[in-house]
Structure 1
């Protein structure tokens, strides 16, 4: 915690921050921890190959679908209360998952883990943003959080392979139990409650509509990845999600106490900041997926060796989390976002030309390290931008929106890039090393283009009238 300014942060605040960062890091690890171990889990618990994807999908549906609702609940009923309740649910559900010996028990545990993630993540973020005022200290706190969360995704991929090979996939659940016990032992003593003096009502029609919309969208994205974009399960769910979002917008314009006030959604910092976050997570997580295919199908790496290859990316994300606040202070939030996306694009571009020679791993390591640094600068900029300029009683909403953007980005990136790579592979004929390489290269080129497009959009739309961008919040 040496990056925090000593006069502004006391010992209790540092301990509270440590509790919140530990919880968020653990939840980030959970997103990728089980992926490598899915075949072993299916064999032990009794999942058929066709149903194996529900171990991941059930978690992703709840983690993304309920996060906006829980973010607002944290504003209304207490962020500390929701955070600790979510951690308790995480511990209990992880214990049930680690002990599961039938598919339905494991799926119930994964649903509960997703709900715990949807509750804990926005509550923890809003506790951070309300505990530290806007400025360099909050930027550094969000930088640490972004670095640890991004490192957590990489750590999960590596740790999942290690646990599956050396111990058992069940330890992927039991680790959460130990973390939950530690957080519940320390958290109540160091976390201060944060909620408004006057409690307003919860917009139930808006809450039901937006939750159903997010569930439909995430389900459609996961089905597109599992089946195809032409599957009725995919486009039907995506269409339903779009209709429900339109209905949600109409509800929010009419109710007296909306779940998401329209004036908040009209703020440029909220709109464009969250778009930046969604694209940052979509591009980087999908790139890891594409490079995993390359390492295993083209270079012949084992799953564990492929996972370990991303340790360099993890180091880059940690460095990016440290540099992010400094970039925002030096160049302004908008310029940090634009520059981060451009550097990420420049780092991703060489990966378009990957070949089947073993020495290409050196290019991959340098590119992923550089891209990881840049991606975390964007993520820190996104968190700062999307939560700035809003009062404390709306920080749960702001962090709920930010968490939703993160979750949807993670869910969206892989199906989109997988569809691009698969289409190219099928166009070339049967799956083989050279066709996989071509498919990966095509998708990586699209990934690079998305980064450039994001930079252009943010440069044009996220700015002061007549200005060049700012460190502190932009006007609505």
Structure 2
């Protein structure tokens, strides 16, 4: 019975060398969610885009991203995570070049949609690569602390970069900046990353792809139209209803097909489900803060784009301090809700602080306090939620589990922005109507904007507080050391998985050849490429252990 001996996998130091390149990919994805926001007025003037159409420069990206994430995760699982990572990076760079060279609105819109499509492949590929690269509990905590900090702080960094590039170069560089980032990540990833994929032939669930993609497109498109048509319009209600029906049909299909796009076992676990909800609700509650604080500083306070971007730096610093200094240390020692629940409550307090903002409020007493609270809370929520997003999941499903949490982020951001912007706009209009007797004046207009931001902040605070309660009830998992180790069925790229053989977790040897528990495996015993040494053999890193060493929890992404 022929077997193949595995090549030596990356040592511990090489695994850490892979993290910067995986992190660069995530940074690029997060940056693109906000870097264009500050450049929007400039590009709108250059390309003569109407006020009604300008929102689609942002929505085209999130629409393509959010609706294709599940498919992207499955492609990464079956075709190879490293391969998908590299293809997505190069595609993202090409789409960014197209957008930077856009001559009109339609060309820019197509480029943004292409960015979102390649981002839907890049996000889950990068996150699942992180999951199979870091498997020791302490290493995972550090790696996901860094990853969570990138995810949480990337939005603020994008606003800073957008302001600097728009002020000193041109709005087109907000898109061109992705090209060197993608090239560096691709070159480093090609040299360092190890390929892995789901065992068996690639069988895509096209019956599931159609309803989930159409359903998510309908929901995201509806939230994009709500700002102009209103949440009560027939078009928006019809799209939301159609999206709900399509997603219900998707769930029914997934429960019946042999190889589903999204195995229901991935989302059925309470801890994983709580992690997805935590990410989605946190993004719904906090994503609007970037929009409202940006408009408060630029329109109400009169800040320039670069000054606005710089003013967001304390938020990024708070995220890094919270994620790297606190969450990373506590993550291996405490249950997930012990970090996520306080993080949501702190973030809720930050959104409530927006109620205190007035046109004359100094930066240090207003915006700065809100930013610090939001940043510190996000630094607790994101690393813990992302780490537990694949709690107990089969490593072969890590790509689709990663896609699920990314979907929660993108759909949450789209819904949150549309919902909160609608609330803010309505509150602003009500204030203007109630003060119409005073006549139009800049002071009244600024105060109306502040009233709108405060109303949106109150709703955001309520969403985050409700999220804290939901997480406290759902996520009852104990500390990481008590987590069961799922069966490892991930196989390297160059070794096909025999359809008629069982692949054993962490050993990848046939059942009738397994070494006894108290006896080390013979040196001449053939092993499959994903084999890891038994517990009584030398240390995993010294022996060149593959991506998933034994005895390590693979509970999360």
- Pairwise TM-score range, normalised by the shorter structure: over 0.9
Q: Number of aligned pairs?
A: 465
Cα deviations across residues 300-343 of structure 1 (Å, max 9, x unaligned)?
Answer: 33343333221111111112221222232343212111121122
Change (3 A) 1:360 1:176: closer
- Quote how far apart the aligned CAs of 1:186 are: 2.3
> Is 1:437 aligned with 2:439?
no
Distance 1:421 1:96 in 2: 34
- Equivalent position to 2:38, from 36, 39, 42: 36
| Contact 2:426/2:452 (8 A) holds in 1 | yes
| Contact 1:389/1:473 (8 A) holds in 2 | no
> Is 1:369 aligned with 2:391?
no
* Structure with higher helix content: 1
396-405 or 370-379: bigger deviation:
370-379
Distance 1:391 1:238 in 2: 33
| Contact 1:334/1:470 (8 A) holds in 2 | no
- Quote how far apart the aligned CAs of 1:159 are: 1.4
Greater gyration radius: 2
| 1:45-444 to 2 correspondences below 5 Å | 45-133=47-135, 135-322=137-324, 323-359=326-362, 361-430=364-433, 432-444=445-457
- Runs of at least 4 residues off by over 4 Å: 472-476
| Contact 1:331/1:471 (8 A) holds in 2 | yes
Secondary structure of the residue aligned to 2:25 is helix
Cα deviations across residues 138-172 of structure 1 (Å, max 9, x unaligned)?
Answer: 12211111211222211111211221121111111
Using structure 2 for the length normalisation, give the TM-score: 0.79
| Contact 1:82/1:120 (8 A) holds in 2 | yes
Change (3 A) 1:113 1:378: same
| Contact 2:356/2:366 (8 A) holds in 1 | no
Q: Note the residue ranges of structure 2 that are not aligned, 5 or more in a row.
A: 1-9, 434-443, 485-554
> Is 1:470 aligned with 2:468?
no
Secondary structure of the residue aligned to 1:51 is coil
277-286 or 302-311: bigger deviation:
302-311
Secondary structure of the residue aligned to 2:38 is coil
Change (3 A) 1:165 1:232: farther
Distance 2:75 2:278 in 1: 25
Secondary structure of the residue aligned to 1:429 is helix
Aligned match of 1:5: none
Distance 2:291 2:48 in 1: 26
Change (3 A) 1:351 1:100: closer
- Quote how far apart the aligned CAs of 1:32 are: 0.9
Distance 2:323 2:152 in 1: 9
| Contact 2:353/2:369 (8 A) holds in 1 | no
Using structure 1 for the length normalisation, give the TM-score: 0.92
Distance 2:166 2:302 in 1: 19
234-243 or 375-384: bigger deviation:
234-243
